[in-house]
Chain A
Amino acid sequence: MFVYADNAATTCVSKTALDAMLPYLTEQYGNPSSLYAFAQKSTEALAQARADVAACLGAEPREIIFTSGGSEADNQAILSAARLGARQGKKHLISTAFEHHAVLHTLKKLEKEGYEVTLLDVHEDGVVRLEDVAAAIREDTCLVTIMFANNEIGTLQPIAEIGALCREKGIPFHTDAVQAAGHTPIDVKAMNIDMLSISGHKFHAPKGVGALYVRRGVPIFNLIEGGAQERGKRAGTENVAGIVAMAAALKESVENMEANTAKIIPMRDKLFAELSKIPHSKINGSLEHHVPGTVNMCFEGIEGESLLLLLDANGICASSGSACTSGSLDPSHVLLALGLPHEVAHGSLRLSIGEYNSMEEIDHIIEVVPKVVDYLRNMSPVWDELEKGQRPHLI
């Protein structure tokens, strides 16, 4: 059985999105900037997509800038706020320790340029505290950027509360909503969000397309110069087919959110319930504030990459925050931010499921994971020491 359980990494393109985009690759390929009637069909499609994406987020069409994806949107939002801040003598930014690298690396770059960055603690449950945000705000704070939902553990942050606080203090607030859009309700107006990033391929649109919402009145600077597209805020001929697909996919996800959630939650709960029976395992992140499909657990005494390879051999696609899969010597910064010891974080597994998964697939995962964990533990000297009491169990 083949089970795709890595929907937080990317998703399949939905039939609705594919059908919507295909004409703009073959028949309606005109450049939206061209004058003739043929190309105006692309212009109209772009306008409709903008209106649809805006409606899904509670925004106005003119507040949407289409980008190449979530990383570009994050970069533009942060660098723009930083540049504006510098003009006002404000060079302090607030974020969290477990943001996506598109945010963290951009902040690192700003630090090298003389900005100060406060990374808030996300506590053991992976949820930022409003009082921590309030305490971190300074006279010279030019941006608060806090993710809507964490990509590895799926925890939702108190976005509406943070938005209200920032609005009250007059500080721009950006949220990386790449893992939230299409999966959990978003209303940029009600939540007092000034800037918000989304990425199409996380909700069944193709890769390479995303959007940045920028509230009307919030100044935004370009990352890419060279044309008047996107109201002059993002040059480059629009990815019309991708944008149309993203709008169709987001609309579909938002319209079916309740039904999808109702389908995903029982599958997720079964995974948690059954995999928690594995001794010395741990669920990472609060289950109270959580996107529907993400399951993140640690299994003591094993290492994540070998776990993934064996799951792959059993047809299961998943991911891990172990050092070997992160490409560095340290395990996932998200799991370390929760306070997990390195040796525990190395044994992490993320399963991210969606509405395309079935209970039969969940049962397959539940059958395979305990066997694989057991197999790896039996050859693990760490597990041997844990069992003999020569090393204390940490979970």
Chain B
Amino acid sequence: MALYSDKVMDHFQNPRNVGKLDDADGIGEVGNAKCGDIMRMYIKVDDNGVISDCKFNTFGCGSAIATSSMATELIKGKPIEEALKLSNQAVVEALDGLPAHKIHCSVLAEEAVRAAVKDYYDKKGIAYDPDDFQIHDCESCQS
């Protein structure tokens, strides 16, 4: 059996929404280069609070790129509150699964979306509960 599902390979080889948004309303970046993956998520939010556009840049392995790509697909066109509900599990399911040691990439994708929304809230002066935006440090970076 191949390491990755066909869906993962498709999103890795033909990633959706790669790039930057120069006029982004929110930018979130998670991970670090030392650990081998960084995701940066750009969102554009329209007057109705809907994510009208979304792009990503990722440094990382195949599944890091695929989960970023899938996350942008899952939140594009959705109200911001709905994007906040995106779970890593939803990303994994949409990709037809990930190997156990790559689940971490889907967590990063979820957190990149949340970090972008948090940045949007900060810029707009919208109040939020900080507890909803906790970013997990990855284990290997704590030592």
Task: Using CB atoms and an 8 Å cutoff, list the residues of chain A in contact with chain B.
Answer: 301-306, 309-310, 313, 322-324, 327, 329-331, 341-343, 346, 378-384, 391
Most buried by B among A330, A378, A380, A381: A381
- A330 in contact with B140 (CB, 8 Å): yes
Give 11 CB contacts A-B under 8 Å. Answer: A303-B61, A310-B13, A329-B35, A329-B140, A331-B36, A342-B35, A379-B19, A379-B58, A380-B57, A380-B59, A381-B38
Complex CA gap A381/B62 in Å reads 15
Interface pair B62/A305, CB less than 8 Å apart = yes
Is B33 an interface residue when CB atoms closer than 8 A count as contact?
yes
Cβ contact of B18, chosen from A309, A341, A379, cutoff 8 A: A379
CB of B60 within 8 A of chain A?
yes
Nearest B residue to A380, CB-CB: B59
Residues in B whose Cβ lies below 8 Å from that of A322? 36, 61
Residue among A309, A323, A330, A384 facing the most chain B CB atoms (10 A cut-off):
A309
Pick the contact of A343: B13, B18, B34, B138 (CB < 8 A). Answer: B34
> CB-CB < 8 A to A380: which residues of B?
38, 57-59
Q: How far, in angstroms, from A378 to B65 measured CA to CA in the complex? A: 12
> B140 near A303 (CB under 8 angstroms)?
no
Q: Are A381 and B61 in contact (CB under 8 A)?
A: no
Q: Check B12 for interface membership: any CB of A closer than 8 A.
A: yes
Find A309's partner among B12, B36, B37 (CB 8 Å cutoff).
B12
Contact B61 A324 (CB under 8 A): yes
Q: How far apart are the CA atoms of A211 and B73 in the complex, in Å?
A: 54
Which 7 residue pairs across A and B have the least CB separation, nearest first?
A305-B61, A324-B61, A329-B140, A343-B33, A381-B40, A380-B59, A381-B57
A379-B57, A391-B33 provided; 19 other pairs, C-beta below 8 A? A303-B36, A303-B60, A303-B64, A306-B61, A306-B64, A306-B65, A309-B12, A309-B13, A322-B61, A324-B60, A324-B61, A330-B140, A343-B33, A379-B15, A379-B56, A379-B65, A381-B38, A381-B59, A382-B38
CA distance A322 to B20 in the complex (A): 26
Contact with A along B40-79 (1 / 0, CB 8 A): 1000000000000000111111101100000000000000
Which chain B residues border A379 with CB–CB below 8 Å? 15, 18-19, 56-58, 65
Contacts of B139 in A (CB 8 A): 329
Please indicate the chain B residues that have their CB under 8 angstroms from the CB of A301 in the complex.
59
Q: Do A309 and B62 touch across chains, with their CB atoms under 8 A apart? A: yes
**Min CB distance, A314 to chain B, in Å?**
11
- What is the size category of the interface that chain B forms with chain A? 20 to 34
Across the interface, which residues of B come within 8 angstroms of A323, CB to CB?
Answer: 35-36
Is there contact, CB below 8 Å, between A327 and B101?
yes
* Distance (whole angstroms) from the CB of B43 to the closest CB of chain A: 15
B25: A residues at CB distance < 8 A: none
| B83 within 8 A of partner (CB) | no
Residues of B within 8 A of A306 (CB): 12, 60-62, 64-65
B59, A302: Cβ atoms under 8 Å?
Answer: yes
| Contact A346 to B13, CB < 8 A, known contacts A309-B62, A327-B101 | no
Binding site for A on B (CB under 8 A): 9, 12-13, 15, 18-20, 29, 33-40, 56-62, 64-65, 101, 138-140
For A342, what are the chain B residues with a Cβ–Cβ distance below 8 Å? 33-36
The distance in angstroms between the C-alpha atoms of A343 and B35, with both chains bound, is 7
Cβ contacts under 8 Å, B29 to chain A: 381
Rounded to whole angstroms, the CA-CA distance of A301 and B34 in the bound complex is 11
**B140 neighbours in A (Cβ, 8 Å):** 329-330
Taking the nearest CB of chain A, how far is it from the CB of B70, in angstroms? 15
Instruction: Tell me the minimal C-beta distance from A371 to chain B in angstroms.
Output: 14
Give the contacting residue for A313; candidates B13, B36, B101; CB below 8 A.
B13
Question: B35 — which chain A residues lie within 8 A by C-beta?
Answer: 323, 329, 342
Q: Are A382 and B61 neighbours in the complex by a CB distance under 8 Å?
A: no
Residue from A304, A331, A381, A391 within 8 A of B39 (CB atoms)? A381
| Residues on A with beta carbons closer than 8 Å to the beta carbon of B62 | 305-306, 309, 324
Specify which chain B residues have a CB less than 8 angstroms from the CB of A384 in the assembled complex.
20, 40, 57
Tell me the bound Cα distance from A310 to B13 in angstroms.
Answer: 8
From residue B33, how far is it (CB to closest CB) to chain A in Å? Answer: 4
Compute how far the CA of A306 lies from the CA of B33 in the bound complex, rounded to whole angstroms.
14
Tell me, in angstroms, the Cα distance from A313 to B39 when the chains sit together.
Answer: 23
Contacts of A382 in B (CB 8 A): 33, 38, 59
Q: Is the CB of A381 within 8 A of B58?
A: yes
Closest to A377 in B: B59
Which of chain B's residues have a CB closer than 8 A to the CB of A313?
Answer: 13
Find the residue from A310, A342, A379 having the highest chain B CB count within 10 A.
A379
Is the beta-carbon distance between A324 and B36 smaller than 8 angstroms?
Answer: yes
CB distance from B65 to the nearest CB of A (A): 6
Question: Which of B9, B15, B35 gathers most chain A CB within 10 Å?
Answer: B35
Most chain-A CB neighbours within 10 Å: which of B20, B35, B36, B64?
B36
Cα–Cα, bound, A205→B54 (Å) = 53
Q: Which residues of B contact A310 (CB under 8 A)?
A: 13
* Closest B residue by C-beta to A326: B36
- Shortest CB distance A321–B (Å): 11
